[in-house]
Amino acid sequence: MLKRSVKSRAQYGECRRNLDHAKDECEVLTVLVLAADHRAGDLIPQIEAVPGVYVISQTDDSFLALARARALLPDVLIIDLSARFAGDAATVIDKARQLEPPSHILVHSGDAVVGTVSPAGAVGPGAAGSPPGLAHALARLAGDVAPPL
């Protein structure tokens, strides 16, 4: 479980610069969002409302998202199907699965998480029997809620 001492981007930056803080106090679940700009405006506030979750980058271009993922090493890559894809969405998801180190991948459409890929490579549908939204999926990854039975 992650510590929740960081509440905003400014606090995260300050925490990272202040070497007096223990490493754990700055830990957050980092997220890179691949979504059309009009969707990102709705998604990012939902994502950052989850305690301990921080959006480190957003783009609507899949090529740029993969390049940023290689450089920024996010814990979670959210791929919203509204984005512009170089090729098709399946090809981009497959390339995202090959990132090193691997990230959790959440595939999002409408208001639901429609697919997941764990860092170990396990592919699955969105969590059956649990709320389908991003906030719930991210809270589960951050350790705030128990996974569905």
Q: What SS3 class is residue 30?
A: strand
pLDDT at 120: 85
Q: Which helix (H) or strand (E) holds 114?
A: strand 112-117
Is the pTM higher than 0.85? The answer reads no
The closest alpha carbon to 82, from 66, 58, 50, belongs to 58
pLDDT at 136: 87
- Name residues whose C-beta falls within 8 Å of residue 28's C-beta, 6 or more positions apart in sequence: 2, 6, 12, 52, 53, 54
pLDDT at 144: 55
Per-residue pLDDT of the chain (149 residues; tens, 9 = 90+): 333 334 444 555 555 555 454 445 557 899 999 999 999 999 999 999 998 899 999 999 999 999 999 999 999 999 999 998 888 899 999 999 999 989 999 999 988 888 888 888 888 776 555 556 888 889 888 885 444 43
State the DSSP code for 98.
T
Residue bearing tokens 């990132």 = 99
pLDDT at 21: 46
Q: Which helix (H) or strand (E) holds 116?
A: strand 112-117
